Amino acid sequence: MYIDLNVPAPQVHSQQSHSKKGKGKQNAPPPKVNFAPAQLAALENRIDLLVHLGYTVLALNQTAETKLDPKNHVNVLDSLLSQLKKRPGIIFLKRLTIVLDEESEKGFGLTTANTPLVASYDILSLLPTTQGSLSLACLTHTLPSPLTTHIIALPLTSPRLPFRLKHTLIRTALKNGAVFELSYGGALGAEADPSGGLGEGGAGAKRNWWANAREVVRVTKGKGVLVSGGIVNDADLRGARDVANLMTVLGLSPDAAHSASTKLPQSLILRAQTRRAYRAVLSEPKIVIPNTSPIQANIDVDPVPAVSGEAAQAPTATNTPPATITSSANPSDGSRNEHGKRPRDEGTASPAKVGATSDDAKDGPGRKKKKKTNKETES
């Protein structure tokens, strides 16, 4: 299953009435969104080509370049999906990318009051353009909450990144579950949507993309790198395996390059669902069905005969003789054996014997020789 999480949606201008009558007394109706037939036809052809290349999960991307305001912002993806033809086996997701610039550092609309506004999107992403907005995106908006952003897009085609990729910021974002997006359109010098971190194409933009993408891979050590398209021209689309081969040139391992468009976006989609759960907690209970029913299991086991009454307390009669306790006889007591003699303890000796042995042990075998020599001297 190959996934492309950046399919740019057509840019439209919403039509909203500016009547001041009844202002503040009732909510204004949502602005209407109209797509030109040429825009819908171009998007249909692009989706057909992506399906032909093997992609089964596609995320339509809407870009918000200004602060999110419920009065002005409208979700154009809902009406867009309703106008696309049905494709069995293809999953469409809705993505919102917010561009963070100097004006939006003070506030760009990701507040608790706007939670119902962004709840209709499946994936949220940020495109920082300054050092302060990058720190805000990595440290604050990657924490589990109803406003969690799981994708951080980077302007890779700019002559130089407008911020420094610090290891502490990158590690914190990866630890919180965010990923950094690389749109392969810049590697081809193709015209792409700004929401994917790409600007104008050309040889200069292509050279800048390779230099900046290598820096991203170096800082992230190849972890948490997501590959997407962001292509607006059908001729620039590539298959998933071609993109994986392209990512290996940046220094990614073949496994990491393959998972950048398969396993990594799949796990990101699952984590994105935590925005709609309490404290971002999801559970996956597993039902274990036993092979046999409890009644059948009880029948298969041999029943133990129950013993009741006095039979349970009475000892069972056996043919074994009663146990006897044997103890070594002590010569000091008055016990005698069957012949009327005291038992002899082989381990003890008489005091005289003990004394003799002790003297012999002290004097040694030369004592008798000394006595003989004394008798010879007396004579």
Rounded Cα distance between 140 and 138, Å, is 6
Q: Is the dihedral of CA 106, 112, 113, 116 positive or negative?
A: positive
Q: Which uninterrupted H or E stretch holds 365?
A: none
Spell out the domains of the chain, with CATH numbers in brackets: 2-10+33-276 (3.20.20.140)
Residue 60 β-bridge partners? 7, 94
Residue 12, CA distances (Å) to 9, 76, 231 in order: 9, 8, 17
One digit per residue, the tens of pLDDT, for the chain of length 379 reads 899 999 999 887 555 544 444 444 445 555 667 888 999 999 999 999 999 999 999 999 999 887 888 888 889 999 999 999 999 999 999 999 999 887 765 667 778 888 888 889 999 999 998 898 899 899 988 988 888 899 999 989 888 888 999 999 999 999 999 999 999 988 887 775 654 445 566 778 889 999 999 999 999 999 999 999 889 889 999 999 999 999 999 999 999 999 999 999 999 998 888 877 755 566 666 777 777 655 555 555 555 555 555 544 545 544 555 554 444 444 445 455 555 556 555 544 444 444 444 455 445 555 555 555 555 555 4
Q: What is the separation of C-alpha 4 from the centre of its chain, rounded to a whole number of angstroms?
A: 21
Q: Could you tell me the two tokens for 369?
A: 């020789």
Residue linked to tokens 């003989």: 372
Q: Which residues contact 150 (CB under 8 A, 6 or more apart)?
A: 123, 124, 125, 142, 177, 178, 179, 268, 271, 272
Predicted structure pTM score:
0.68
Query: Comparing C-alpha atoms, which of 22, 97, 27, 111 is closest to residue 59?
Result: 97
